[in-house]
């Protein structure tokens, strides 16, 4: 079992630090604005909390949206508690066992927990660099996500549609977070105002 709370706490701080004026800003994801990514984060927080509890939402399990127009005006106060609820839901051994559903897929609980961790870390990084903030994640969490994504890339070296783009090479001595970011198809040197974007 992995404690997701330190990661969700860090990302909640990032969410609170984004201004309304930054919502249309470009991000490392080609098709998504900063507002779109924050909306996606909101949806995935709810989806992965349900998955931890082995609950299927009304209408079935579907991929979280990514549409900044859906954010409303209370997103800074709404999303951090949802992220905390996500972490609390995975703070239960039973969440990591058996099968569950998320994004329309049925997967082992352990795999879904690792996907949740990866989503939090990578989209947290996306939000940080797009809004000009800095973020640090606990090394144990980055290592767990890196090993999960590395294994996925080994099976799908050209990327996993809907999850990762083709990996971007990084230096062998690069920080592990940079290596994780590269494996997901992003450029670790991407910064606000950059013309370089990821494919996922």
pLDDT, one tens digit per residue, over 161-179 is 666 778 999 999 999 999 9
**What parts of the chain have a pLDDT lower than 50?**
196-200
Tokens found for residue 94: 């039973």
Residue 80: count other Cβ atoms within 10 Å of its Cβ.
Answer: 19
pLDDT at 158: 75
Question: What per-residue confidence (pLDDT) applies to 196?
Answer: 47
Instruction: Say which residues have a Cβ less than 8 Å from residue 103's Cβ, sequence separation at least 6.
Output: 47, 61, 62, 63, 64, 162
pLDDT given at position 27: 94
| pLDDT for the residue numbered 159 | 67
pLDDT at 165: 78
- What CA–CA distances, in Å, run from 142 to 7, 86, 125, 150, 180? 9, 18, 11, 12, 8
User: Do residues 51 and 90 make contact, with C-beta atoms less than 8 angstroms apart?
Assistant: no
Judge contact between 130 and 34, C-beta under 8 A.
yes
pLDDT at 13: 98
Domain residue limits, the chain:
5-141
pTM metric for this prediction: 0.91
The pLDDT value recorded for residue 161 is: 66
The pair of structure tokens assigned to 49 is 């909390």
The dotted CATH code for 5-141 is 1.20.120.450
Q: Within a 10 A sphere around the Cβ of 132, how many other Cβ atoms? A: 13
């Amino acid at each position: 079992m992995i404690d997701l709370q330190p990661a969700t706490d860090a990302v909640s701080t990032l969410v609170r630090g984004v201004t309304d004026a930054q919502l249309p800003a470009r991000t490392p994801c080609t098709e998504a604005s900063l507002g779109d990514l924050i909306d996606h984060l909101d949806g995935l927080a709810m989806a992965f909390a349900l998955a931890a509890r082995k609950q299927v939402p009304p209408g079935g399990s579907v991929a979280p949206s990514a549409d900044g127009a859906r954010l409303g005006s209370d997103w800074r106060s709404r999303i951090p508690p949802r992220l905390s609820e996500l972490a609390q839901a995975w703070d239960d051994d039973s969440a990591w066992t058996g099968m569950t559903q998320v994004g329309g897929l049925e997967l082992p609980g352990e795999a879904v927990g690792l996907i949740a961790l990866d989503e939090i870390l990578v989209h947290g990084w996306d939000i940080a660099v797009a809004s000009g903030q800095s973020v640090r994640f606990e090394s144990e969490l980055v290592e767990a996500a890196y090993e999960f994504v590395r294994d996925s890339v080994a099976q799908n070296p050209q990327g996993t549609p809907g999850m990762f783009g083709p990996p971007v090479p990084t230096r062998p001595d690069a920080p592990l977070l940079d290596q994780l970011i590269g494996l997901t198809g992003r450029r670790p040197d991407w910064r606000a105002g950059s013309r370089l974007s990821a494919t996922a």
